[in-house]
Amino acid sequence: MNANRYEDFISELNELDDGDAPVARDVAAALKSDPEILAYFVRPQTLFDSDSVYESVTCYAVTDSSLHVISSDVSYEFAPEGELLTSVRTLPLSMLRDVQLLRRRSLQGPHAGELSAIGVHAVWGGSWLIDSFPAGCEDPSCTLDHGSMAHAVAEDLDVFVDTSLDAAVFSKGAEFILRLHEILVGAGR
């Protein structure tokens, strides 16, 4: 039997914002019907754009039946004063397949043999990402309508951490990736 990590997960989210992180409320709402967390990873990031710096967080939570990917960051697209946008994607574990685990280790130097990066990749193929764009030709003066082109890519999951991150974040990320891989290949179910 696995211990439920839900309270630890919500507590870690609340620590990001002095005990009242809006993302924690959004996550609690998303997990209301499936609150038993087997494994989780909270990945805070500082993002930079042309004129501002803001905090973003991506969370992964694994339950008996699903993987929840929660992304929360500040957007200025719809409100000039900014607003917090949180999206929750829920993927049934049964849809995740072709699971690959990558470990990267240093070959030389004082850290030879040590883990320098780890990642897990899985395909779920439940939908496709389609980018469409106007077709064109090489002639810059051409005014003809060349129609549209599209590029379709199967959706997949990548969780990757390396030692450029804070040591605690790297350690927690590596632990989560190994646990997620174990769950996805069936050893953890």
95's CB contacts (< 8 A; 6+ apart) are 124, 125, 126
Average pLDDT over residues 137-149: 82
Distances (CA, A) of 6 to 17, 39, 52, 62, 72: 18, 9, 33, 10, 18
Instruction: Examine the domain organization and report whether 86 and 105 are in the same domain.
Output: no
Average pLDDT score over the chain: 83
Instruction: Examine the domain organization and report whether 126 and 147 are in the same domain.
Output: yes
Distances (CA, A) of 12 to 17, 139, 152: 10, 55, 37
Question: What tens digit of pLDDT does each residue of 77-108 get?
Answer: 778 887 888 888 888 898 888 899 999 998 98
Domain with 104 in it: 96-189
Instruction: Examine the domain organization and report whether 139 and 86 are in the same domain.
Output: no
Question: What tens digit of pLDDT does each residue of 14-39 get?
Answer: 887 655 567 788 888 888 877 789 99
Instruction: Examine the domain organization and report whether 103 and 155 are in the same domain.
Output: yes
For the entire predicted model, the pTM comes to: 0.77
For residues 27 and 61, the answer to whether their CB atoms sit within 8 Å is yes
Which of residues 93, 120, 151 is at a domain's end? 93
Q: Does pLDDT of 116 surpass 70?
A: yes
User: Domain tally for the chain?
Assistant: 2
